[in-house]
Amino acid sequence: MRIAVFSAKPYDRTFLTCANTAERHFLSFFDARLTVETATLAQGFDGVCAFVNDCLDEAVLQQLHDGGTTLIALRSAGFNHVDLAAAERLGMTVARVPAYSPHAVAEHAVALVLSLNRMTYRAYNRVREGNFALDGLLGFDLHGKTVGVIGTGQIGLIFASIMHGFGCRILASDPFPNPQAAPFVKYVPLETLYAQSDIISLHCPLTPDTNHLIDADAIAQMKQGVMLINTGRGRVVDTQAVIASLKSGKIGRLGLDVYEEEEQLFFEDLSHGVIDDDQFMRLTTFHNVLITGHQAFFTTEALTNIAETTLANIDAFESGEGEIHTVEITR
């Protein structure tokens, strides 16, 4: 099949080319993010391979469909950026990579917890400047603390088990409790999780229910000085509410791998220009905020699995044989 790969970075080219053994598909790599302006690049391609910040709304899907595209092969697990109803109406198949390395994301969430707790990012800079003072670096023992996990699917479960290994007490909220979590996780109502957790980590998908789940009202129910970690999706958190809570001290430490308006920022080198997102820049001024640019998934194992599953989805779509991980519409 002829596949147009959007938002293609050097690592995407490397891993996808490697997985495309015997060059069984023709992969064309485009640096551009998929938008209504760039969709014409896919004219005449059977399939489009897209990532998390590509736009797959109705207008883009219509253009792709008109250009002959019948398969959307996502290089991600999340599919909140796809208008599934429009895809269904247009008869397009949407495939994804349901699990590539939940360990990668869970371990990155733990890295944010550890770095924020002991402020290793501040210590690194201080030591390089010959500043060995410890003021401002005070952490706390994780052992004995309460960790609230929102969403105990593949990633949340692993995160919970690692934190349990540190000696933390684990509370969780999930409309579908995970039986594998039963031995070490206590499911509680969200209000209880908010009220009792020293650390709260978000591992639920972005849905209409979870959009701005963490808003001013939710934060008001949390402990003073709570640590909040988001490696899920940016829009699960109301950034303005979080900024207000950082200013008041209600949120004591914030770790983000995702951000509400990340489509305009993440995965690009913008260091030569001016970043005009004032909300994002405000976040970067807090010494107790640690932001990474959607890199939680970024391990060799995950990229290998993403590439292999994506190519397997394309194989299965073309041949009609084997498993294709389609995204179904739930009504």
Residues of this chain that interact with ligand NAI (CB under 6 A) are 77-78, 102, 105, 150-156, 173-176, 203-207, 209-210, 231-233, 257-258, 294, 296-297
Give the shortest CB-294-to-ligand NAI separation in angstroms.
5
Instruction: Tell me how far apart the alpha carbons of residues 249 and 226 are, in angstroms, rounded to a whole number.
Output: 9
Instruction: Tell me how far apart the alpha carbons of residues 41 and 175 are, in angstroms, rounded to a whole number.
Output: 41
- Give the residue with the Cβ less far from ligand NAI, 72 or 155: 155
**Non-local CB neighbours of 100 within 8 Å, separated by 6+ positions:** 77, 297, 301, 302, 303, 305, 306, 309
- Which residue reads 């690049």 in tokens? 41
The amino acid at residue 317 is F
CB burial of residue 203 (10 Å; 0-12, 13-18, 19+):
buried
Catalytic residue among 33, 75, 233, 253: 233
Give the shortest CB-307-to-ligand NAI separation in angstroms.
15
- Give the residue with the Cβ less far from ligand NAI, 38 or 173: 173
Give the shortest CB-238-to-ligand NAI separation in angstroms.
15
Give the shortest CB-71-to-ligand NAI separation in angstroms.
21
- Give the residue with the Cβ less far from ligand NAI, 132 or 176: 176
The phi, psi pair for 94, rounded to 5°, reads -115, 120
Helix (H, G, I), strand (E, B) or coil at 311: helix
122: annotated active-site residue: no
Q: Which residue is nearest to ligand NAI (CB)?
A: 153
CB burial of residue 318 (10 Å; 0-12, 13-18, 19+):
middle
Catalytic residue among 96, 262, 308, 325: 262
- Give the residue with the Cβ less far from ligand NAI, 79 or 317: 79
Instruction: Tell me how far apart the alpha carbons of residues 312 and 329 are, in angstroms, rounded to a whole number.
Output: 21
> DSSP string of 44-72?
T-SEEEE-TTS-B-HHHHHHHHHTT--EE
Give the shortest CB-199-to-ligand NAI separation in angstroms.
16
Give the shortest CB-14-to-ligand NAI separation in angstroms.
18
Instruction: Tell me how far apart the alpha carbons of residues 164 and 145 are, in angstroms, rounded to a whole number.
Output: 10
Catalytic residue among 25, 294, 308, 325: 294
- Give the residue with the Cβ less far from ligand NAI, 71 or 218: 218
Give the shortest CB-132-to-ligand NAI separation in angstroms.
34
CB burial of residue 214 (10 Å; 0-12, 13-18, 19+):
buried
Nearest to 105 by CA among 192, 222, 229: 229
294: annotated active-site residue: yes
- Give the residue with the Cβ less far from ligand NAI, 232 or 252: 232
Q: Decide if 200 contacts 229 (C-beta within 8 A).
A: yes
Ramachandran sector of residue 122 (left: φ over 0; alpha: ψ -120 to 50; beta: rest)? alpha
CB burial of residue 123 (10 Å; 0-12, 13-18, 19+):
middle
- Give the residue with the Cβ less far from ligand NAI, 111 or 243: 111
* Residues taking part in catalysis: 233, 262, 294
